């Protein structure tokens, strides 16, 4: 493998740094064909400005690494726990599609107050994380804020589009962070605070859904299919 692709990239960088509108072909034409060192042929003052290779991206470590069932409460659809109510086989980061990694609990701190599934007569389409204080709510994965609105049922609600037909919903937020619909977010970005907004009187908690499918022309996020985040396979947190 020769060095040509690297060199082309370098030439492009030089073009940008020099503020020259010439094409990379034009730039390469004046440079010797045999390049053995990546910075060969680049003046020192430019070589110093060339960025180092970026570090391997890692999933941010702001999310809880373990999860407890809320004590005292009756928790529907509770997953398996040890005697201290700590969930066994808890995966802090899961795969929801080939290129989508999501935090299982996108909260600064909280306990599980409801699992996914039938709750009395209705399907609970997400999981609930409870806290007594208005802790930060994070974007569970990289994506774009698709919807940010108030609804009587979900209160202050955000839906993030993660691509690959994967979405996440965050409901009952006390308030939103300064982000707007259409804003790009990365996993771990603060999108709001845990709250209890709804037309009904409810305890403070985050209602969190992982959704998949195609956004509805009319129904929007309600055309999507909810998934149980605890059923999704664990993802490694590197890269």
Residues forming contacts to Zn ion in the complex (CB under 5 A) are: 128, 207
CB 31 within 8 Å of CB 11: yes
C-beta of 198: minimal distance to Zn ion in Å? 10
What's the CA gap between 239 and 130, in Å, rounded?
30
In the complex with Zn ion, the residue whose CB is nearer, 101 or 207, is 207
Report the residue number whose CB is nearest to Zn ion.
207
C-beta of 126: minimal distance to Zn ion in Å? 5
In the complex with Zn ion, the residue whose CB is nearer, 22 or 118, is 118
C-beta of 154: minimal distance to Zn ion in Å? 9
Q: Which residues contact 64 (CB under 8 A, 6 or more apart)?
A: 92, 105, 107, 109, 110
In the complex with Zn ion, the residue whose CB is nearer, 7 or 130, is 130
C-beta of 116: minimal distance to Zn ion in Å? 9
C-beta of 111: minimal distance to Zn ion in Å? 14
In the complex with Zn ion, the residue whose CB is nearer, 42 or 206, is 206
In the complex with Zn ion, the residue whose CB is nearer, 28 or 124, is 124
In the complex with Zn ion, the residue whose CB is nearer, 162 or 207, is 207
Sign of the dihedral defined by the CA atoms of residues 14, 18, 24, 29, in that order = negative
Question: For residue 170, which of 208, 113, 120 has the smallest C-alpha distance?
Answer: 208
C-beta of 172: minimal distance to Zn ion in Å? 8
């Amino acid at each position: 493998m020769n060095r040509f692709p690297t060199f082309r990239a370098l030439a492009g960088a030089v073009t940008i740094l020099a503020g020259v509108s010439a094409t990379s072909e034009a730039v390469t034409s004046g440079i010797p064909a045999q390049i053995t060192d990546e910075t060969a042929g680049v003046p020192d003052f430019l070589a110093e400005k060339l960025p180092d290779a970026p570090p391997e991206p890692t999933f941010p470590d702001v999310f809880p690494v373990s999860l407890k069932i809320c004590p005292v409460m009756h928790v529907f659809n509770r997953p398996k726990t040890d005697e201290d109510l700590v969930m066994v086989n808890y995966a802090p980061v899961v795969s929801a599609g080939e290129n989508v990694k999501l935090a299982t609990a996108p909260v600064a701190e909280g306990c599980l107050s409801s699992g996914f599934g039938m709750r009395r007569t209705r399907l609970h389409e997400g999981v609930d994380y409870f806290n007594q204080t208005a802790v930060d709510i994070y974007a569970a994965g990289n994506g774009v804020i698709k919807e940010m609105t108030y609804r009587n049922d979900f209160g202050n609600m955000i839906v993030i589009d993660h691509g690959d037909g994967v979405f996440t919903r965050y409901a009952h937020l006390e308030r939103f962070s300064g982000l707007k619909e259409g804003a790009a977010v990365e996993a771990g970005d603060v999108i709001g605070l845990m709250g209890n907004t709804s037309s009904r009187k409810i305890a403070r908690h985050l209602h969190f859904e992982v959704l998949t499918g195609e956004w509805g022309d009319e129904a929007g996020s309600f055309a999507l299919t909810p998934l149980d985040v605890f059923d999704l396979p664990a993802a490694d947190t590197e890269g």
